[in-house]
Amino acid sequence: MSNEKIQAELAKYEASVEKAVAKFPERPHLPEKRIYTPLDVKGDDAYTEEIGFPGQYPFTRGVQPTMYRGRFWTMRMYAGFSTAKASNERYRYLIANGGTGLSCAFDLPTQIGYDSDDPISEGEVGKVGVAIDSLADMEVLFDQIDLGKVSTSMTINAPASVLLAMYIAVAEEQGVPADQLRGTIQNDILKEYAARGTYIFPPKPSMRIITNIFEYCSKNVPKWNTISISGYHIREAGSTAAQEIAFTIADGIAYVDAAIKAGMNVDDFAGRLSFFWNAHNNVLEEVAKFRASRRLWANIMKNRFHAQKPKSMMLRVHTQTAGSMLTAQQPNNNIIRVALQTAAAVMGGTQSLHTNSRDEALALPTQESVTIALRTQQIVANESGLADVIDPLAGSYYVEAMTDRIYDEAAEYIKKIDELGGAVEAIEKGYIQKEIQDSAYKWQMDVENKRRIIVGVNEYTMEEEPPKGLLKVDASVGVEQCKKLADLKAGKPINKMTKGRDNDAVKAALAELKEACKKDESENLMPHILKAVKTYATLGEICGVMREVFGEYEAHVSL
């Protein structure tokens, strides 16, 4: 059918629905068009060039040529709570039930570089993740788990260098060389300033630490993903799909720039960069977002940074279903939400996935709930047919048009950020924060005015009994951690792997680290951090030394 014929038929269709549209006003968050046709999709040449084939530039259809026909995505369940021993038991349970990768959640004190016995940590120890104070805790966390066989992701940012060093040290104790380790550290500080808040140091020394990790791992831990540039938390803070990938890729550009300025060749490190997307509620928009983000990153790496290796141009992504979309009301509804979000991530072509549990709007997930979340992935993988064909929605008029729209909108944001001086400048000027806040406000107003329906929250509500059997972490966890720390610092063995630390060796290692921090950026801090970790210097002691030299970041917004 010619374009003219399609246009004529479309005009007839629009006329036929005119009365119905007047009677039923459309909701403002719906797409501008009711129906999409070949007129909304680019011509054959553009289609072939911009969409292409899986495993080939610009990777719109996926980064591997076989995708899930070769193997399923990594089912990487995010877990961590209370003590290292309790979290280790959950990890081993997940592996025994078909989990194919681990993902570590750390408590708030760990995330901001404080030990459990610091006064600022009181009331937060073990609450939103596992408490890790020293190598001794990390030894227990991975007890009876072969780090040569499992891939581990760690959601840690400001103190990522310290937690990575602890992981390397545990692997060495197990007899696993660093060059065999597989996994990811989040290590994405820029989004902390913009959307999440678990920062420690100002941007400049933070960028130094990140590029030190890039360099160290490229030589010593080559299979490790040195950063997971995170859009997840940007989306959780209220951004749109296009903003999620735009602001995240802008952060990615800043990291690549910093590494190149530090003297690294783009093809030496870019292949180990990874991303972290949110799988939100609108299934088709999410699929389009995944496809657009791969194309956008590939074009930036090829045309802006002149990467030569195809692997340097691949946007590889871990995904987590949307925590902000879980509801405390009618929590079993969350099972359906997570299933749909899982479908979106799979049709979008994710490389690994964590599925949230039904009760996470109320508490940490119970073992029963986390099993349902894992089984959701396994059912989608083995029973739904969604993993049987690569990029199953390619060619959909709507999905292709939306892929182009999200790509163009994100590219326009990146252009604006470039004009402001890059992601660091845009954050310091408050631009990115303001854009996220405006989108979050619009979403909330749509919910409160019922222009957007959230089942069980603003429509289809019901009287409910308070839920029973929730997992709670009590104050005794903090008391236990503080006792173990006191014993550690007194030189006593606190687990079967720890002989007891030599405090003179700790002081010497921390002094060496402090001097290294004072030197210029050519001095890589990772070997010094690893040395301190192996003496059983604590997270708080190591981060404290770096705080003394680098100072702390103070949030400010200038609009």
Residue 385 vs residues 69, 285, 357, 381: alpha-carbon distances, Å? 11, 20, 23, 7
Element (H, E) at 208: helix 203-220
Please write the tens of the pLDDT for every residue from 13-41: 888 877 777 777 677 777 878 888 888 88
Residue 180, domain member (yes or no): yes
Indicate yes or no: pTM above 0.85.
yes
- CATH number, domain of 153, equals 3.20.20.240
What is the model's pLDDT at position 467?
84
Please write the tens of the pLDDT for every residue from 455-466: 999 999 999 988
Domain end marker among 400, 415, 430:
415
Helices (H), 475-553: 476-489, 503-518, 526-534, 539-550
Same domain for 381 and 246: yes
Interval 384-388 mean pLDDT: 96
What is the model's pLDDT at position 360?
94
369/373 Cα distance (integer angstroms): 6
* 410, pLDDT greater than 90: yes
Torsional sign, CA 31, 354, 383, 290: positive
Structural domain of residue 117, as residue ranges? Answer: 70-415
Same domain for 234 and 115: yes
Same domain for 228 and 133: yes
DSSP labels for 285-309? HHHHHHHHHHHHHHHHHHHTS---S
Same domain for 497 and 394: no
Same domain for 318 and 205: yes
| Residue 87 backbone phi and psi in degrees, to 5 | -70, -40
Which residue has 């877990």 as its token pair?
A: 79
Residue 557, domain member (yes or no): no
Residue 119, domain member (yes or no): yes
Residue 161, domain member (yes or no): yes
Residue 182, domain member (yes or no): yes
Residue 449, domain member (yes or no): no
What is the model's pLDDT at position 286?
98
> Whats the size of the chain, residue-wise?
559
Q: Strand 152-154 relative to strand 183-185: parallel, antiparallel, unpaired? A: parallel
- Amino acid at residue number 304: R
Interval 71-76 mean pLDDT: 95
Same domain for 347 and 493: no
* 80, pLDDT greater than 90: yes
Please write the tens of the pLDDT for every residue from 510-559: 999 999 999 988 899 999 999 999 999 999 999 999 999 999 998 765 54
Closest by alpha carbon to 243, among 179, 184, 292, 192?
292
Residue 320, domain member (yes or no): yes
Residue 327, domain member (yes or no): yes
Same domain for 345 and 213: yes
Residue 475 vs residues 104, 113, 362, 365: alpha-carbon distances, Å? 21, 20, 18, 18
Please compute, for residue 121, the number of CA atoms within 13 A of its CA located in the half-sphere on the CB side: 30
Domain end marker among 367, 387, 415:
415
- What total number of domains does the chain contain? 2
Please write the tens of the pLDDT for every residue from 87-146: 999 999 999 999 999 999 999 999 999 999 999 999 999 999 999 999 999 999 999 999
Q: Tell me the two tokens of residue 394.
A: 């390619």
Domain end marker among 415, 438, 455:
415
What is the model's pLDDT at position 47?
66
- CB of 84 within 8 A of CB of 135? no
200/189 Cα distance (integer angstroms): 9
Same domain for 397 and 514: no
Same domain for 489 and 411: no
Average pLDDT, the chain: 94
Same domain for 297 and 151: yes
- CB of 211 within 8 A of CB of 262? yes
Same domain for 397 and 301: yes
Interval 429-435 mean pLDDT: 95
512/494 Cα distance (integer angstroms): 26
Same domain for 227 and 102: yes
